[in-house]
Homo-oligomer: A and B are copies of this chain.
Amino acid sequence: MSVVNVQLGKNVMIIQPDLVNLYGCEIGDESKVGSFVEIQKNSKIGARCKISSHSFICEGVVIEDEVFVGHGVMFINDREPQATAGGLLQTEKDWTVVPTKVCRGASIGSGAIIMCGITIGEGALIGAGAVVTKDVSEGTIITGVPGRLLRKRT
C-alpha cells in the first residue's frame, strides 16, 4: 500500500491500492484511479475523473472535474530535466515546477505525453500517442507527434 498523505474526496475508487504510488496529492469525489499509477505531491485531480492504469501525474498538474486520462499517459513538469546540477544529484531547489492544467471534461488518449506549461481546454480530446507541446483549444481534437489540430470535436 502506497497511498500516503492523500486528500481523498468521497467514494474515490483506487482499484488496486497495493499497486499505486500516490502521495501528497488531492483527488476529488468519485474519481477512479487504476493500477500502476503514480500521482505526485502538489497535484490536484477533480471529481468524477478516471485516471487509467500506468499513468503518471506529476507535481504542478491540475486536472479539473470529469476528465478522462487514458492508460500510460505521462505528464511533465520540467522542460530540460537533468540528473545533476554541478555534479551533485539535483534537489528540489535546482528546478522550478512548470504547471499544466487540464480543463473540465477533457479526454486524454492512452500513451499521450503532455509537455509542461500548457492548458488543455474544456472538452478537448487528445488522441492516443499524441505529444502535446502547446495549448489546446476547448472542444478540439489533437493528434500526432507533435500534436496538431485534427478538427473540432462534434
Contacts and interface: CB of A to CB of B under 8 A. Distances in A.
A122 interface: no
Contact of A38 (B53, B70, B83): B53
Contacts of A83: 48-50, 66-68, 105, 107
| Majority secondary structure of chain A interface residues (helix, strand, loop or mixed) | loop
B74 A71 contact: yes
Of the candidates A16, A84, A143, the one having the most CB atoms from chain B within 10 angstroms of its own CB is A84
Of the candidates A67, A72, A113, A115, the one having the most CB atoms from chain B within 10 angstroms of its own CB is A113
Given A16-B21, A84-B48, A128-B115, A54 B66 contact: no
Contacts of A90: 50
Given A50-B89, A76-B109, 19 more contacts: A21-B35, A30-B89, A34-B38, A48-B83, A48-B84, A48-B89, A54-B56, A66-B84, A68-B82, A70-B76, A70-B81, A74-B110, A80-B107, A80-B125, A81-B109, A84-B105, A111-B131, A113-B128, A115-B128
